């Protein structure tokens, strides 16, 4: 990921979707690794991406299939 300029789709906890890097892609600018000892502690990675777009981040709602 650090060698390319990916297009990124994000999903938040409210099931809202956001599209980053629509025209120029995103750049990986930083990151960190976190480990914790307790069951509720964070264990994982945090990556920071930036994008230089002319318009703000695009968002859309997930469409559900209607039978």
Residue at 58 is within a domain: no
Percent of the chain as helix, strand, coil, to the nearest 5: 0, 40, 60
Structural contact between residues 22 and 58, judged by C-beta atoms closer than 8 angstroms: yes
Residue at 2 is within a domain: no
Residue at 37 is within a domain: yes
- Residue 60, pLDDT above cutoff 90: no
pTM: 0.65
Domain carrying residue 24:
8-53
Structural domain total, the chain: 1
- The two structure tokens encoding residue 60: 């859309």
E-state strands within 1-67: 8-11, 16-20, 27-34, 44-50, 58-61
Rounded Cα gap, residues 39 and 29, in angstroms = 30
pLDDT digits (tens, 9 = 90+) for 3-39: 788 888 888 888 888 888 888 889 999 999 999 888 8
């Amino acid at each position: 990921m650090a060698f390319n300029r990916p297009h990124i789709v994000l999903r938040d906890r409210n099931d809202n979707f956001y599209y980053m890097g629509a025209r120029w892609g995103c750049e990986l600018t930083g990151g960190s690794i976190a480990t914790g000892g307790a069951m509720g502690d964070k264990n994982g990675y945090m990556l920071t991406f930036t994008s230089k777009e002319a318009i703000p981040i695009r968002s859309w709602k997930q469409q559900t299939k209607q039978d």
